[in-house]
Amino acid sequence: MTTTTVWSIAQLERHTADGIIFTAHYTVDANDGTYSAGAYGSVGLEQPNPNNIIPYANLTPEIVIGWVKDRLNVEEIEDSLQAQLDEKNAPTTATGLPWS
């Protein structure tokens, strides 16, 4: 089964004076065609080099997702989501009563 993982930016926090982003809130959604799992988090961003500032209006999801992924352990997050999907597909625990 192939799992599709999609990273998105849910919200950005910025300074109004210069448009510099200081926090990015992200979501990660994994789907194997039958089940889905997701994660939400936020990451603080460092002040950019003055020579590398991208104006707020020119930011794209791809740019900010790149910044977020650079600050996180992407493999660990995606592996955790895959483990959740694996558990849904082949549960290792169950609840219930042995009588009706």
Q: Tell me what the mean pLDDT of segment 8-35 comes to.
A: 97
Q: Tell me what the mean pLDDT of segment 66-91 comes to.
A: 98
Q: Which amino acid is at 75?
A: E
Least-confidence region, from 3-7, 52-56, 75-79: 52-56
Confidence at residue 23, expressed as pLDDT on a 0 to 100 scale: 98
Cβ proximity of 44 and 23 under 8 Å: yes
Confidence at residue 48, expressed as pLDDT on a 0 to 100 scale: 87
Q: Tell me what the mean pLDDT of segment 43-68 comes to.
A: 94
Residue 10, burial from CB neighbour count under 10 angstroms (0-12, 13-18, 19+): exposed
